[in-house]
């Protein structure tokens, strides 16, 4: 079959399939959340047993340093397989990233828990290791990234494409954000696209961004006009014309960072995470205690879970740092299965429905039906139901979909949505003063970190206080606006990032960013930390 006929047939078969939605600018710390789907899940076989994710990784000799003596970046370079392209679009992207080395540092730190697994999976499939860098373009390696096009996770799957590739989406769980499951789905999708476009990775990547139909129509249009049909000559959407150059620019920086004035954060060439199959639903706050992790960190390692517990129907697997698995399993073995979630006995009141009870206890009708052996929706006043309930107040599950959505609703209810186009010289601090909002919340609304670089032309969403934005008077900040003070804090015995963050009403992520603390590093008594706190948000003296 000729290449053009093959593309035509593929177009007819695939126009229904939604493409992976994209953000206008993946490098600006792309946007974060949860839908019911097929039962099939893309869980690799090695996830059935606890231990390191890289059971199918290269032999131990490679992990120990040969032939990759430096770190995981060296191993990624070794697997580069895409052709070099001398194009002004690539050069512009290289220049941009070269000027923002700290951004690349933050992306590397976010990628650290997941990158070893992604690279191992690419190698097992014989795919170019450049593709391990694609989540930088898609989401800046933020597992809670969520775009205006309803794309979610580090690989930015929209609901339909996610379901097509086996990513289960329910009220409790969204496989698009599950880093392990979504990586399997993304690589399968990319393999299919590469085959569809006769091994041309540039066209395959363009299709991943814009959809197969968009790319094939552009090819057909150029062919009819006697024009070249390679990626670099196609009339594609503006975002897609930037998409491949952006990945190739990141590839160039990883290939030779020193040539571009960068020093990449080293990532050890060794597995970071392991997977434990708990076997039943478990409260995530309880799981965090058993693993001796902060709850926010457990969510970041398991971002597929939408609520306060794993899905009653599964999966029940938890990704944990390798050094926490033995202790977690030992403590879990001592805990009876019926104590993994807290149960409450609820007496049905006259006029109550299952839906009302489910909403009250932050669960689902299906869960109530299953746990109480109900075949329908009929319940009698005076009867009792067993209801699974969270062990902690709702606000403790700060990274659950429920809490993220609640914060968004509060913003919409209490403020006015403004779209601000970044101008040269704009900073988060300056914009926070101009619009009367906090630096941290301004960054969070746009799924960024307060230290990230703003790019002229970038669009930011800002929820202003009632009455719209305001200029700051010379006499000081307007009522309700944050007063930021720099504080030096000395770590005490028993302190954790979570406790310090709670005490000063800041986020753990901010604490890490202000002090360059990578994930997994523990605090030491006497260590000095820098904090930027909102004086008005403190309940007592600092």
Q: Are residues 142 and 186 in the same domain?
A: yes
Q: What is the SS3 assignment for 377? A: coil
Query: Can you give the pLDDT at residue 47?
Result: 30
Q: Are residues 354 and 331 in the same domain?
A: no
Answer whether residue 60 shows pLDDT above 60.
Answer: no
> Could you tell me if 365 and 501 lie in one domain?
no
CB atoms closer than 10 angstroms to residue 416 = 15
Tell me which of 321, 336, 351 is where a domain ends.
336
Does the residue 95 lie in any domain? Answer: yes
At residue 64 the predicted structure's pLDDT band, cuts being 50, 70 and 90, is: very low
From 260, 294, 316, give the residue that closes a domain. Answer: 260
Tens-digit pLDDT profile for residues 191-215: 999 999 999 999 999 999 999 999 9
φ, ψ of residue 435 in degrees (nearest 5): -100, -5
More confident residue, 251 or 377: 251
Say yes or no: 376 and 302 in one domain: no
- Give per-residue burial for 318-352: e unless 16+ CB within 10 Å, then b: bbbbbebbeebeeebeeeeeeebbeeeebebeeee
138 assigned to active site: yes
Mean pLDDT of 520-524: 76
The active-site residue, picked from 138, 184, 212, 297, is 138
Are 34 and 169 spatial neighbours (Cβ–Cβ below 8 Å)? yes
One domain, residues 252 and 228: yes
CATH of the domain at 354: 3.10.350.10
| DSSP secondary structure string for all residues of 258-303 | GGGT--PPP--SS--EEEEE--S--BHHHHHHHHT--HHHHHHHST
Percentage with pLDDT > 90 across the chain: 39
464-490 per-position pLDDT tens digit:
764 433 333 333 333 344 456 667 788
- Per residue in 389-398, pLDDT (tens digit) is 777 777 777 7
| 94/23: higher pLDDT | 94
Whether 408 is in a domain gets the answer no
pLDDT at residue number 207 = 97
Q: Which tokens sit at 129? A: 């290791």
Domain membership of residue 497 (yes or no) is yes
- The answer to the question of residue 472 being in a domain is no
Task: Tell me whether residue 225 is in a domain.
Answer: yes
Query: pLDDT at position 413, please?
Result: 53
Domain-embedded: residue 410: no
Domain containing 426: what range? 415-464
Do both 198 and 304 map to the same domain? no
Q: Are residues 489 and 529 in the same domain?
A: yes
pLDDT of residue 242: 92
Does residue 114 belong to any structural domain of this protein? yes
Residues 33, 144: Cα–Cα separation, whole Å:
6
pLDDT confidence tier of residue 539, bands split at 50, 70 and 90: very low
pLDDT for residue 404 is more than 80: no
Shared domain check, 325 and 185: no
CB count within 10 Å of CB 475 equals: 6
Tell me the average pLDDT of the chain.
Answer: 78
Domain count, the chain: 5
Going by C-alpha positions, the residue among 529, 478, 521 that lies closest to residue 504 is 529
Q: Which residue has the higher pLDDT, 86 or 519?
A: 86
Tell me how far apart the alpha carbons of residues 231 and 180 are, in angstroms, rounded to a whole number.
30
Q: Is the same domain home to 185 and 238?
A: yes
The pLDDT assigned to 181 comes to 96
- Model confidence over 274-283: pLDDT tens digits? 999 999 999 9
- The pTM of the full predicted model, rounded to 2 decimals, is 0.64
Q: Are residues 285 and 151 in the same domain?
A: no
Say what percent of the chain tops pLDDT 70.
77
Listed residues 399, 431, 464: the one ending a domain: 464
Residues 178 and 41 in one domain: yes
DSSP for residue 471: P
**Residues 346 and 324 reside in one and the same domain:** no
Structural domain includes residue 395: no
Concatenate the DSSP letters of all residues of 63-100 into one string.
HHTSS--S-HHHHHHHT--SPP---HHHHHHHHHHHH-
- Look-up: residue for tokens 């070794």? 78
């Amino acid at each position: 079959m000729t290449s053009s006929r093959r593309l035509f047939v593929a177009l007819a078969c695939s126009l229904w399939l939604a493409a992976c939605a994209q953000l206008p600018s993946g490098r600006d710390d792309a946007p974060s959340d949860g839908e019911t789907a097929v039962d099939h899940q893309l869980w690799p076989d090695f996830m059935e047993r606890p231990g390191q994710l890289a059971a199918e990784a290269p032999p131990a000799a490679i992990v120990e340093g040969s032939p990759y003596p430096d770190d995981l970046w060296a191993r990624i370079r070794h697997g580069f397989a895409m052709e070099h392209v001398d194009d002004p679009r690539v050069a512009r992207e290289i220049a941009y990233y070269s000027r923002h080395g700290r951004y690349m540092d933050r992306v590397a730190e976010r990628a650290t828990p997941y990158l070893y697994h992604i690279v191992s999976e690419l190698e097992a499939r014989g795919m170019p290791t450049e593709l391990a860098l694609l989540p930088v373009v898609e989401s800046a390696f933020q597992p809670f990234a969520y775009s205006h096009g309803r794309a979610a996770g580090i690989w930015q799957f929209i609901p339909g494409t996610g379901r097509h590739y086996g990513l289960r989406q329910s009220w409790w769980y969204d496989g698009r954000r599950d880093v392990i499951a979504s990586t399997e789905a993304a690589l399968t999708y990319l393999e299919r696209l590469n085959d569809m476009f006769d091994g041309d990775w540039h066209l395959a990547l363009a299709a991943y961004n814009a959809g197969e139909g968009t790319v094939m129509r552009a090819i057909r249009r150029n062919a009819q006009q006697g024009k070249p049909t390679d990626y670099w000559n196609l009339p594609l959407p503006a975002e897609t014309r930037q998409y491949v150059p952006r990945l190739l620019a990141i590839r160039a920086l990883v290939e030779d960072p020193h040539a571009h004035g960068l020093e990449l954060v080293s990532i050890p060439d060794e597995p970071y995470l392991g997977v434990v199959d708990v076997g039943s639903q478990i409260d995530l706050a309880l799981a965090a205690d058993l693993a001796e992790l902060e709850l926010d960190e457990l969510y970041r390692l398991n971002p597929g879970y939408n609520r306060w517990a794993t899905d009653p129907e599964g999966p029940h697997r938890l990704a944990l740092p390798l050094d926490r698995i033995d202790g977690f399993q030992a403590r879990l073995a001592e805990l009876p299965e019926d104590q993994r979630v807290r149960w409450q006995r609820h007496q049905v009141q006259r006029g109550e429905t299952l839906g009302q009870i489910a909403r009250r206890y932050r669960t689902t009708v299906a869960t109530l039906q299953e746990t109480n052996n109900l075949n329908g929706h009929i319940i009698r006043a005076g009867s009792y139901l067993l209801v699974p309930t969270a062990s902690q107040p709702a606000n403790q599950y700060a990274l659950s979909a429920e809490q993220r959505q609640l914060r968004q609703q509060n913003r919409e209810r209490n403020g006015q949505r403004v779209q601000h186009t970044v101008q040269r010289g704009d900073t988060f601090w300056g914009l926070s003063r101009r619009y009367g909002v906090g630096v941290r919340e301004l960054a969070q609304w746009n799924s960024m970190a307060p230290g990230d670089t703003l790019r002229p032309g970038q669009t930011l969403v800002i929820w202003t206080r009632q009455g719209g934005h305001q200029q700051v008077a010379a006499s000081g900040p307007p009522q309700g606006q944050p007063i930021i003070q720099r504080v030096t804090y000395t770590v005490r015995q028993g302190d954790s990032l979570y406790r310090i963050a709670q005490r000063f009403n800041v986020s753990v992520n901010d604490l890490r960013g202000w002090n360059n603390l990578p994930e997994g590093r523990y605090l030491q008594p006497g260590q000095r930390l820098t904090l930027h706190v909102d004086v008005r948000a403190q309940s007592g003296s600092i």
